[in-house]
């Protein structure tokens, strides 16, 4: 979805520049420790490669699996004060989840799935007519590329572009597909060289029978594989889509279900899928996109209640620092003297092997 640019003042710009400079210095430090690494390479390529290694390590350190439960408060990036606090003046505390699809922690997966369910429920109920007409049914079909071995990031982007081109072509040539679509995978290790099937599941408003033929013919034109699944109720689609957006694929009843960490190394996941888009919307006008974005932002704010530790979420949405009015915050890790688990916590297995670092993730408003 389109987002408006964030205007930063001079101090905020300086802070971001300093952070970027620290990352470059970190990369250069790695080069100095391994001087032979730059032989035969452009210095800019070396900096980028070392930054990628730094970010990969940071991803693994922040991941939930193999970690003790961690907790954070929001700290203002401008005045360093507590971004929000309760009626007693204490900072509002949350449990940290990395929200990374590579993470196999059941608690983290549950959290990711609940967020996507909330977001998708907000979309499927966006209009009263969508909730009430035709028993709240949607057309469900999939569009996919040919089977292949493990894709590269470039190939993944190319498949995304092909599906976007298909949607654009249909909307301009026939009628408007109004709905959403999500990225999905199937994996079969027996099919050597064709283990991966990358496809997209569509949920669109009901259409006439002849339009299914138009979709099939247009998919063939774009060299995509079309599969008509049928009419489905929104609650079934929400559960199906949320599970895949959260990072579980395949079907349990056929014992084909898997997560990224089951079939990929951390390096492979980072190189191909890390921070790649999972869900798309189609057929909305500009004003509708703005309304939907505001709706989803409010839903994300309410989702914070899933991980609250010591208080209820304030009624009014807190978007600025209670001290200086800044919109920028960090998630700062804290140690709780007496931990009160959030309502969604389940029993955790204990692991070892990952280093814990201070959480300094940026605000979603950033």
Q: What is the mean pLDDT of the chain?
A: 79
pLDDT at 350 over 50: no
Least confident piece of the model among 72-76, 176-180, 193-197, 295-299 = 295-299
| Highest mean pLDDT: which range of 62-66, 77-81, 163-167, 342-346 | 163-167
- pLDDT confidence band for 317 (50 / 70 / 90): low
More confident residue, 37 or 274: 274
Summarised one tens digit per residue, pLDDT across range 222-244 is 999 999 999 999 999 999 999 99
- Please answer whether residues 201 and 239 qualify as being in contact, where contact means their C-beta atoms are separated by less than 8 angstroms: no
Summarised one tens digit per residue, pLDDT across range 157-168 is 999 999 999 999
pLDDT of residue 18: 55
- Please answer whether residues 342 and 95 qualify as being in contact, where contact means their C-beta atoms are separated by less than 8 angstroms: yes
Residue 93: closest CA among 307, 300, 299, 306 = 307
Whole-angstrom Cα distance, residue 74 to residue 83?
A: 5
pLDDT at 209 over 70: yes
Please state the pTM of the whole predicted model: 0.76
In sequence order, the 6+-apart residues with CB closer than 8 A to the CB of 258 are 187, 248, 249, 250
Summarised one tens digit per residue, pLDDT across range 74-118 is 889 889 899 888 778 888 888 889 999 999 999 999 999 999 999
């Amino acid at each position: 979805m389109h987002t408006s640019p964030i205007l930063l003042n001079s101090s905020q710009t300086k802070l971001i520049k300093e952070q970027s400079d620290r990352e470059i210095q970190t990369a250069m430090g790695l080069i100095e420790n391994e001087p032979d690494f730059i032989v035969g390479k452009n210095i800019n390529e070396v900096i980028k490669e070392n930054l990628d290694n730094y970010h990969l390590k940071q991803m693994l350190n922040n991941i939930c699996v193999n970690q003790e439960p961690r907790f954070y408060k929001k700290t203002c990036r401008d005045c360093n004060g507590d971004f929000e606090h309760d009626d007693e003046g204490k900072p509002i505390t949350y449990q940290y989840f990395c929200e990374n699809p590579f993470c196999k922690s059941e608690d983290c997966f549950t959290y990711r799935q609940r967020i996507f369910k909330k977001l998708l429920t907000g979309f499927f109920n966006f209009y009263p007519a969508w909730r009430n007409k035709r028993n709240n049914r949607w057309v469900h079909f999939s569009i996919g590329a040919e089977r292949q071995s493990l894709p590269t990031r470039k190939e993944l982007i190319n498949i995304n572009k092909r599906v976007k081109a298909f949607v654009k072509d249909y909307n301009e040539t026939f009628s408007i597909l109004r709905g959403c679509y999500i990225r999905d995978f199937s994996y079969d290790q027996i099919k050597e060289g064709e283990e991966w099937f990358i496809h997209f599941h569509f949920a669109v408003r009901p259409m006439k029978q002849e339009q299914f033929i138009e979709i099939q013919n247009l998919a063939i034109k774009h060299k995509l594989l079309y599969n008509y699944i049928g009419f489905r109720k929104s609650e079934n689609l929400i559960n199906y889509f949320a599970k895949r957006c959260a990072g579980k694929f395949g079907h349990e009843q056929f014992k084909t279900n898997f997560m990224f960490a089951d079939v990929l190394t951390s390096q492979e996941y980072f190189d191909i899928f890390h921070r790649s888009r999972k869900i798309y919307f189609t057929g909305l006008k500009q004003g509708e996109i703005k309304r939907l974005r505001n709706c989803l932002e409010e839903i994300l704010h309410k989702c914070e209640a899933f991980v609250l530790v010591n208080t209820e979420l304030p009624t009014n949405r807190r978007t600025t620092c209670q001290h200086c009015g800044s919109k920028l915050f960090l998630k700062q890790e804290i140690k709780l003297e007496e931990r009160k688990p959030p309502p969604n916590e389940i029993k955790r297995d204990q692991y070892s092997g990952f280093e814990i670092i201070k959480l300094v993730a940026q605000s979603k408003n950033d």
